[in-house]
Amino acid sequence: MWYLLALSLLVLQFNKKISVILLMVTAAVGAYTQVLDWRALTFMAGLAIIAGAYCKFSGKVPRTLLEILLVLASVGLMLHLIPGFHNLRVLEGVRAGPESAPFSMYYNFDKALVPFVLLICLKSLFTTDTRPRTKPWHWMALVVAVPVLLMVAVALGGLKVELHQPQWLFQFVLANIFFVSLAEEALFRGYLQQRLSSVMHPVLALLIASLLFGGMHYAGGSLLVIFATLAGLIYGLAWMLSGRLWVAVLFHVGLNLCHLLFFTYPMWQRLPHIS
């Protein structure tokens, strides 16, 4: 089922009809396997009705109100506030290394719906032609910024260099691409940053989207908020320079993968000193 959901997201940009059909089949399987209960199915049916109304109405006021509803639904899905989604826990309390804090990982059905919802609001969610001219050094600087940011986290005491070769690397990459990064980039870069850029200076839009992205990580403490905000600047610049959502997703997944393979993940857990 999860591979089918990932496939539906992969083809969403290129063929919406096939992608929606795949999503419907996935939802049916999800209902059968009890990943989705009646509340999630009812919510998804409601989204379909709102989407149909949004496409049908031509007036600015009703479309704006419906778009607000769709964006609020996306935020609810992102934050796992919508009941009825029983996401699969793939990892529970695992440690990437001896000095890494334990963590759990899920395949998120609710979060995976976010790109579908936002594409209804903004047809240019995945690609836009409004991007500045770029030079090779722009991209080189952006690539270098990824390890630099991780080393800054080390200097601040949040991480420590620790090499890993986890057996669950494939599951981690699959979850990060389709059930985490794509949804987050769709909301914060593809939709929010793009919408803000149409009414204000693109740099200001980049800063606001990055700050909101950092604020979403408040549960992890102030250091994680700062780290996520700076990471959001990297992802936002990747979107701004390329005009392609998948490029921002690539940087997002790349940073998370570098974090996992070369540093304590998700953070450094200081062990008590035993004398």
Long-range contacts, 152-158 (Cβ 8 Å, 24+):
152/230, 153/223, 153/227, 153/263, 154/263, 156/223, 157/223, 157/268, 158/223, 158/224, 158/227, 158/267, 158/268
Q: What is the pLDDT of residue 56?
A: 85
Pick the closest to residue 47 from 25, 31, 30, 23 (CA basis): 23
> Which residues constitute the domain of residue 177?
2-262
255 occurs within a structural domain: yes
Q: What is the pLDDT of residue 274?
A: 45
90 occurs within a structural domain: yes
39 occurs within a structural domain: yes
Tokens of 63: 């479309």
150 occurs within a structural domain: yes
Please give the average per-residue pLDDT across 52-68, as a whole number.
86
Please give the average per-residue pLDDT across 253-268, as a whole number.
96
pTM for this entry: 0.94
Q: How many domains does the chain have?
A: 1
Q: What is the pLDDT of residue 234?
A: 98
**Mean pLDDT lowest among 16-25, 125-134, 147-156:** 125-134
271 occurs within a structural domain: no
Q: 271 falls in which pLDDT band (50, 70, 90)?
A: low
Residue-averaged pLDDT of the chain = 94
